[in-house]
Amino acid sequence: MKVDEIKDAALKFFTIHGYEGASLSQIAEEVGMKKQSLYAHFKGKDDLFLQVLRDAKEAERASKLEYMSGFDEHHPERDLYGFLRLVIDLFQKNEQLKFWLRTSFFPPAHLADAIGQEVVDIETEIQGILERKFKDWIDTKAIYGESAKTPTLAFLGIVDSIMLSLVYDNDEQRLEEKLEACWTVFWRGISHP
Amino acid sequence: MKVDEIKDAALKFFTIHGYEGASLSQIAEEVGMKKQSLYAHFKGKDDLFLQVLRDAKEAERASKLEYMSGFDEHHPERDLYGFLRLVIDLFQKNEQLKFWLRTSFFPPAHLADAIGQEVVDIETEIQGILERKFKDWIDTKAIYGESAKTPTLAFLGIVDSIMLSLVYDNDEQRLEEKLEACWTVFWRGISHP
DNA sequence: AGATGACTGACGAACGTTCGTTAGTTGGAG
DNA sequence: CTCCAACTAACGAACGTTCGTCAGTCATCT
C-alpha cells in the first residue's frame, strides 16, 4: 500500500526534523515520487502529519495496554520492570514512540491544542490503569504504600526519564546504567516503608 | 544593548517554534527592526542560534553550580529536594532552561554534533559534582548506598522527569503531585536499605 | 468508460542571505 | 574648533531557493 509507504517516510522525517523541518519533497523523494503526487493520498501536510500522529498514538496505546493486561496481583517487580523494558524495546524497534515523544512535548504551534488533547487522553488512560494495578499490589501487600497515586506518579516519572535517556543518551551502556539505577532506587522505595 | 534584545527575542521564538520553525523576520519584528538588520549583529541564523544556546547553557551551568556549592555533608534531604525546586524555579523564571531542554533533545540536524558535544560537557560536569556529594553522604551515613553512582543516576532521572513535566504538564497542581510522588519514593529508596 | 495514481507545470509566499546606501556617532589630526 | 575618516546600525531592494498547494494531463487497470 502506497499510503503506508508515504506514512513511513513521513514518520522518519518528522521524527528527525520535526514538523517545520521536514519537507514534503524529502518525503516524496524517499518513496520515489514527486511531492505534488502526495496530494492524491493526503489533503496536505497537516493531514499527513495528523494521520502519522494518530497511528503512532494508537500503536503506543495498543502496546502498553496489551502489556499491562498481563499484569497479575503478585509480581509487581517483574511486571513493572518489564514495562520499562517494553518502553525501551518499543523505542528502539520503531520510530513511532520517538515521534510521539517529540510531538507531544514540542508540537507545531498551530496544532498544539489538538495534540495536547490527544496527549491528555492517552496519559489519563494509562495512568488510570496503572493506578488500579498499584492499588491491587498495595492491597495484597506486594508493595508498600499508603495511596496508589504516589507510586503511580513516581513510576511514570521513571518512564519519562528513561524515554529521555533514549533520546539523548545514544550510548547503550549509559542507558542500561541509568535504568538499573532508577529501578533499584524506585523498587527499594516502594517495596517497604 | 540591542544585541541582548535580539537574543531575548530569538530565545523566545526558538523555544516556542524550534530552530526551523522560528524565522528571522519574526525575531526582527519583535525588536522592531527588519531581518536584514540582524546581520549587523550576527553572521547569520546559525550564529544567532548558537550564541543563544551558549548563553542558555552557561546560565544553567552557573545556577546549578552555585546551588550545589552550598551543599554540606549532613543534609542531603534538604539539599536534594532544594535542587529539584531550583530546577522548577529556573524553568518558570526564564525561558533559557526550556530552550536548552528542547535544543539538547531535538537539535537541528545540521548542528547536532556541535550541540551534542556541549550537552555531554555540562552533563558530565554536573554528574561528577553530584556523584562526589553522594559519596560524602554515603560515607557520613546520611543516606544508604553501596556505590555513589546509583543514587546519582536515579536523582538525575528525577530531574529529567520533572523537567519533562514542566514542559507538558501545564497544570501546576499536577506538577506538584508528581514532584512529591517522585521525591517521596526516591528519598525512601536512598535513605535506608 | 471510469477511476486511480502518478506525472508536469505553475503559483504566491516565505525563507535566509547579500548588496549598496543612508543616517548618526565617534575620534583624532590639522 | 573644525574637518574628515572610520565605524555603527539601520534600511529598501533584490537574490536564488524552497516551501506548500492547485490545476491539468496521461497511462494503467478494473
Identify the burial level of A34 via C-beta atoms within 10 angstroms of its C-beta, where 0-12 means exposed, 13-18 middle and 19 or more buried: exposed
Average pLDDT over residues A142-148: 94
Which nucleotide has its C1' atom closest to residue A1's CA? C5
Chain C nucleotides close to protein (CB under 7 A) are: 4-10, 14-20
| pLDDT tens column, A38-62 | 999 999 999 999 999 999 999 999 9
The pLDDT assigned to B62 comes to: 97
The pLDDT assigned to A54 comes to: 97
Residues 6+ apart with CB under 8 A from B170: none
Does the A56-191 domain belong in CATH 3.30.465.10?
no
What residue ranges do the domains of chain B occupy? 55-191
A23 touches strand D (CB under 7 A): yes
B46 touches strand C (CB under 7 A): yes
CA of A44 to C1' of D25 (A): 21
CA–CA separation, A19 and A45 (whole Å): 9
Interface of A with B (CB under 8 A): 16-21, 102, 104-106, 108-109, 119, 149-154, 156-158, 160-162, 164-165, 167-168, 177-178, 180-182, 184-190, 193
- Closest partner residue to B18 (CB to CB) among A106, A152, A177 is A106
B55-191: which CATH topology? Tetracycline Repressor; domain 2 (1.10.357)
The pLDDT assigned to B168 comes to: 86
Contact call for A157 and B150, based on CB within 8 A:
no
Angle between helices B76-93 and B96-105 in degrees, nearest 10 = 90
Please tell me what DSSP assigns to residue A69.
Answer: T
Check whether A116 has a pLDDT greater than 80: yes
- Residue A119: its chain B contacts at CB < 8 A? 168
Instruction: HSE, CB side, 13 Å, CA atoms: give it for residue B45.
Output: 16
Which segments of chain B have a pLDDT < 70? Answer: none
Contact call for A102 and B104, based on CB within 8 A:
no
The amino acid that residue A136 corresponds to is D
Average pLDDT over residues A131-157: 96
Check whether A96 has a pLDDT greater than 90: yes
Interface of B with A (CB under 8 A): 16-21, 102, 104-106, 108-109, 116, 119, 149-154, 156-158, 160-162, 164-165, 167-168, 177-178, 180-182, 184-190, 193
Contact call for A168 and B119, based on CB within 8 A:
yes
The pLDDT assigned to A171 comes to: 86
The pLDDT assigned to B22 comes to: 97
- Closest residue, chain A, to B162 (C-alpha): A157
CA of B6 to C1' of C27 (A): 28
- Closest residue, chain B, to A145 (C-alpha): B185
DSSP A2-51: HHHHHHHHHHHHHHHHHHHH--HHHHHHHTTS-GGGGGGT-SSHHHHHHH
The pLDDT assigned to A138 comes to: 97
